[in-house]
């Protein structure tokens, strides 16, 4: 995860809450091939009794009980920073995508326009000889463009151009829904410009963090050397980069602060913003980037832009050029540049920061690249092959059942007033369910993909994305748009859209199967559906109303009670020491923890209703387990994951999701119903005296 060369430098959906971390952020790091012989898919089951370790007491450690068999069968592969059931499916999907791409890459067949694009992009990425031979030649005009500038006055046009080709230069600009009126799309200016995963990497003072910063400087130096600088010059330039980025980092909000939308809500208009910055011409910037020169905008982080303005004024232009050269090389140091760059980038972001021991094979990274760049062209073929309409209908039915359960659950809350309940239910009823893939596919007809030009293709795809994004500003929002591609193994809730999104790539075994019963499917995919719905009512999502506007619909009293109840969970997760010396951040992870607990509770209630209606015999065992026990085991087995300590540290410090062990055990500790299903004695490690509960 956090291979930031793969990240867009801005987010058009600012606050979307995703289900898991690494995979969605950058599928470039955490995977291996499934143990499939040619043509046969591995047997992935939602509830798999063969994975249970009956030598472990379920009341002692339910995660180990449910997953030990999986751990034994799946040693952590060398090219992975972590490997779990999400990666297992991710790898299987990637194998399917590879077959599609290899077919599309055959130039002799009669290809559709989309097949030409995905096939030629894949072939270009796979052509390592051509990429190596090309060297830095294709990037040379861009390096020269940076070298040519003489003063800060030329920066607006240069930075605009770099943004167009996907370089994370200083800040991000794009489109976003208006916090006050979610039906409208406005300009959005946000902090950016960092090479480390997030701002606290620049400010932490513990020994490990200090060491990581030194390793980062070495990495930047190595990239400069590869770009033909002398050792001495590269060393000096790397220090310049760290100093400059540290200034940007210190002026940026922490990731915890960014979870509160109020901290990001600073509406203004482009003309006023232009006057605010004294040393960087916004009119020149927007003219060059082809963005709107007027109209409403959000300046997400004013403190950052004040510092950026000062930095432009007081930093020698040669230092700024060093920084921009680094960001340019960094943005392309993946599959578009020679293997020496590719390997150096992997070494820092995947090996040093996350502990992976071996770089992934090229085909895996090229497949992920096409998914990232042309995801709806590739996804269209994927869906036709792997996601039949019947599966879509089953998921929709389950979603509707869980929404009905939430309606009843809101009625039953003893801490919320009747008035606020009415508003909460209005919001729930307005949630839009998006399942599988978009109704209207993205049109890539204007993207030119040239076989044999990996770097040029990357630039053109970025330019296409940028233009597509900026074209949305000033227009009504398109609620049908997706932030994830169809083959993605993940899901999300978007508070400004008030919708839940479940890509087809995720609605597959081992998370959902038409062949397994409700106990398994509700424990697993049902809990995820509940998770995404609960995000609409977590510490962040609850601040948005049914239309997705940032508008408070809570009474003061109810708000105080919500905060008091969720503080129980903040303390509970703060107390967890994930790696020696590093505790989880209860505030950063609160939204996800609320969603995990609320989601599982909703799935449980919905399943009980369904089982009762179907007269399921709750004492009848299957594979040695009661239906209730299979529900909980299916829940736990989705989180079976092996993680390297380096990645665990990164995750504990920076990820809004708790590590998978706690997404299992801590969540179940808060649900006494779990302990009853396994006849646990009180107290036991899995049955605690004062469980937390909000939703």
- Where does this chain touch Zn ion (CB under 5 A) — which range of 221-229, 380-388, 587-595, 602-610? 587-595
> 598 vs 675, which CB is nearer to Zn ion?
598
Q: Is the CB of 74 or the CB of 593 nearer to Zn ion?
A: 593
Residue closer to Zn ion (CB basis): 469 or 661:
661
Q: Which is nearer to Zn ion, 297 or 595 (CB)?
A: 595
d(CA 124, CA 323): 29
Q: How far is CA 29 from CA 18, 88, 368, 557, in A?
A: 18, 13, 10, 46
Q: How far is the CB of 31 from Zn ion (least distance, A)?
A: 21
Chain residues 58-87 in contact with Zn ion, contact rule CB under 5 A: none
Q: Are 320 and 327 in contact (CB under 8 A)?
A: no
Are 341 and 223 within 8 A, CB to CB?
yes
Which listed range, 2-10, 347-355, 591-599, 638-646, lies at the site for Zn ion (CB under 5 A)?
A: 591-599
* Angle between helical axes of 62-73 and 627-637 (0-180°, round to 10): 60
Q: How far is the CB of 593 from Zn ion (least distance, A)?
A: 9
Q: What is the token pair recorded at 669?
A: 């500790």
Q: DSSP code of 536?
A: T
Q: Is 46 in the site for Zn ion (CB under 5 A)?
A: no
Which range touches Zn ion (CB under 5 A), out of 106-114, 595-603, 623-631, 664-672? 595-603
Q: Candidates 10-18, 169-177, 661-669, 673-681 — which segment interacts with Zn ion by CB under 5 A?
A: 10-18
Residue 17 or 46 with smaller CB distance to Zn ion: 17
- From residue 341, how far is each of 5, 47, 347 by CA, in Å? 12, 43, 10
Shortest distance, CB of residue 276 to Zn ion, whole angstroms? Answer: 35
Q: Is 475 exposed, middle or buried (0-12, 13-18, 19+ CB in 10 A)?
A: exposed
Between 329 and 667, CB nearer to Zn ion = 667
Beta-carbon contacts of residue 621 (< 8 Å; ≥ 6 apart): none
**SS3 sequence of 198-218:** CHHHHCCCCHHHHHHHHHHHH
Binding mask 11-30 for Zn ion (x = CB under 5 A): ------x-x-----------
Residue 19 or 167 with smaller CB distance to Zn ion: 19
* Sheet strands (E) in 339-478: 432-436
Cβ of residue 463: shortest distance to Zn ion, in angstroms? 32
**In the complex, minimum distance from the CB of residue 596 to Zn ion, in angstroms, rounded to a whole number:** 8
d(CA 651, CA 647): 6
The residue among 325 and 587 lying less far from Zn ion, judged by its C-beta, is 587
CB of 18 to Zn ion, least distance (A): 6
Stretch that binds Zn ion, among 29-37, 69-77, 378-386, 584-592 (CB under 5 A): 584-592
In the structure encoding, which two tokens stand for residue 148, read together? Answer: 């040519």
Nearest to 604 by CA among 410, 402, 415, 408: 402
Q: Which is nearer to Zn ion, 531 or 630 (CB)?
A: 531
Smallest distance from Zn ion to CB 23, Å: 13
Stretch that binds Zn ion, among 149-157, 183-191, 330-338, 590-598 (CB under 5 A): 590-598
CA dihedral 211, 217, 223, 229 (to 10 degrees): -140
Task: Compute the C-alpha angle 368/374/377, nearest 5°.
Answer: 115
Minimal distance, residue 402 CB to Zn ion, in Å: 15
- Minimum Å gap between C-beta 364 and Zn ion is 26
* Residue nearer to Zn ion on the CB measure, 16 or 416: 16
| Residue 313 structure tokens | 């004024």
Handedness of CA 86, 89, 93, 94 (dihedral sign): positive
CB of 534 to Zn ion, least distance (A): 8
CB of 591 to Zn ion, least distance (A): 7
Size of the site for Zn ion (CB under 5 A): 4
Beta-strand relationship, 582-583 and 185-191? unpaired
Query: Of the two residues 17 and 26, which places its CB atom closer to Zn ion in the complex?
Result: 17
Cα(137)–Cα(329) distance, rounded to whole angstroms? 12
Under 8 Å between Cβ of 368 and 488: no
Min CB(61)–Zn ion separation in Å: 24
Find all residues with CB under 8 Å of 9, minimum gap 6, and list them. Answer: 163, 166, 167, 168, 169, 172, 192
The interface region with Zn ion, picked from 437-445, 505-513, 569-577, 588-596 by CB under 5 A, is 588-596
456-475 residues near Zn ion, rule: CB under 5 A: none
Among the listed ranges 128-136, 232-240, 456-464, 593-601, the one in contact with Zn ion (CB under 5 A) is 593-601
- Least Å distance, CB 540 to Zn ion, is 10
* Closest to Zn ion by CB, 5 or 19: 19
Kindly tell me which of 71 and 511 has the beta carbon lying closer to Zn ion.
511
Find the binder of Zn ion among 241, 595, 597, 686 (CB under 5 A).
595
Q: Which is nearer to Zn ion, 68 or 641 (CB)?
A: 641
Among 265, 257, 260, 255, smallest CA distance to 302 is for 265
Least distance from C-beta 667 to Zn ion, angstroms? 12
Closest CA to 33 of 75, 103, 91: 91
8 Å CB contact between 273 and 304: no
Which residues does 375 contact at the CB level (< 8 Å), separation at least 6? Answer: 485, 486, 487
Q: Which residues lie near Zn ion (CB under 5 A)?
A: 17, 19, 592, 595
């Amino acid at each position: 995860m956090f291979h930031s060369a793969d990240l867009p430098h801005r987010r058009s959906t600012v606050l979307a809450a995703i289900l898991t971390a690494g995979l969605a952020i950058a599928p470039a790091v955490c995977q291996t091939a499934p143990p499939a012989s040619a043509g046969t898919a591995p047997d992935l089951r939602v509830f798999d009794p063969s994975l249970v370790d009956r030598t472990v007491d379920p009341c002692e450690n339910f995660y180990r009980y449910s997953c030990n068999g999986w751990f034994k069968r799946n040693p952590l592969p060398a090219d992975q920073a972590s490997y779990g059931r999400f990666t297992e499916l991710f790898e299987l999907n990637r194998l399917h995508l590879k077959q599609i791409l290899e077919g599309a890459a055959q130039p002799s067949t009669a290809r559709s326009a989309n097949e030409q694009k995905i096939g030629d992009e894949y072939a270009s990425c796979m052509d390592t000889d051509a990429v190596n031979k090309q060297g830095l030649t294709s990037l040379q005009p861009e390096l020269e463009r940076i070298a040519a500038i003489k003063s800060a006055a030329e920066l607006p046009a240069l930075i605009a151009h770099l943004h167009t080709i996907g370089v994370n230069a200083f800040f991000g600009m794009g489109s976003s829904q208006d916090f006050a009126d979610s039906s409208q799309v406005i300009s959005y200016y946000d902090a950016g410009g960092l090479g480390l995963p997030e701002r606290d990497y620049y400010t932490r003072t513990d020994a490990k963090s200090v060491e990581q910063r030194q390793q980062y400087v070495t990495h930047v130096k190595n990239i400069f050397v590869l770009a033909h600088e002398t050792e001495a010059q590269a060393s000096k330039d790397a220090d310049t980069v760290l100093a400059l980025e540290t200034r940007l980092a210190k002026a940026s909000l922490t990731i915890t602060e960014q979870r509160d939308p109020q901290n990001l809500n600073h509406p203004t208009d482009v003309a006023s913003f232009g006057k605010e910055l004294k040393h960087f011409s916004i009119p020149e910037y927007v003219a060059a980037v082809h963005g709107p020169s007027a109209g409403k905008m959000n300046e997400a982080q004013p403190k950052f832009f004040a510092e950026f303005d000062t930095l432009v004024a007081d930093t020698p232009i040669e230092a700024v050029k060093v920084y921009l050269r680094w960001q340019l090389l960094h943005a392309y140091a993946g599959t578009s540049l020679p293997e020496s760059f590719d390997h150096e980038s992997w070494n820092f972001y995947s090996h040093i920061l996350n502990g992976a021991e071996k770089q992934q094979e090229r085909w895996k990274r090229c497949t992920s690249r096409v998914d990232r760049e042309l995801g709806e062209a590739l996804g269209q073929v994927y869906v036709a092959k792997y996601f039949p309409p019947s599966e879509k209908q089953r998921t929709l039915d389950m979603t509707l059942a869980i929404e009905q359960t939430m309606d009843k659950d809101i009625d039953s809350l003893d801490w919320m007033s009747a008035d606020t309940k009415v508003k909460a239910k209005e919001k729930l009823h307005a949630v839009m369910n998006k399942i599988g893939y978009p109704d209207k596919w993205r049109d890539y007809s204007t993207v030119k993909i040239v076989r044999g030009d990996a770097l040029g293709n990357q630039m053109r795809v970025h330019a296409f994305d940028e233009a597509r994004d900026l074209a949305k500003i000033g227009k009504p929002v398109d609620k049908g748009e997706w932030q994830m591609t169809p083959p993605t193994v993940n899901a999300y809730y978007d508070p400004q859209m008030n919708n839940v999104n479940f890509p087809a790539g995720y609605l597959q075994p081992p998370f959902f199967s038409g062949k397994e019963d409700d106990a398994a499917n509700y424990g697993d995919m049902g809990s995820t559906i509940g998770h995404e719905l609960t995000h609409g009512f977590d510490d962040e999502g609850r601040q948005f109303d049914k239309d997705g506007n940032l508008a408070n619909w809570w009474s003061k009293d109810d708000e105080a009670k919500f905060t008091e109840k969720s503080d129980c969970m903040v303390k509970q997760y703060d107390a967890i020491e994930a790696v020696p010396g590093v505790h989880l951040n209860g505030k950063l992870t609160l939204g996800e923890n609320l969603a995990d607990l609320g989601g599982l509770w909703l799935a449980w209630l919905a399943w009980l209703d369904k089982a009762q209606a179907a007269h399921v015999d709750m004492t009848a065992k299957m594979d040695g387990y009661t239906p209730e026990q299979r529900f909980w085991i299916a829940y736990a087995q989705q989180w079976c994951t092996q993680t390297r300590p380096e990645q665990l540290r990164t995750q504990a410090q920076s990820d809004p999701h708790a590590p998978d062990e706690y997404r299992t055990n801590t969540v179940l500790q808060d649900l006494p119903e779990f302990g009853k299903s396994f006849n646990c004695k009180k107290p036991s490690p899995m049955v605690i005296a004062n469980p937390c509960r909000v939703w």
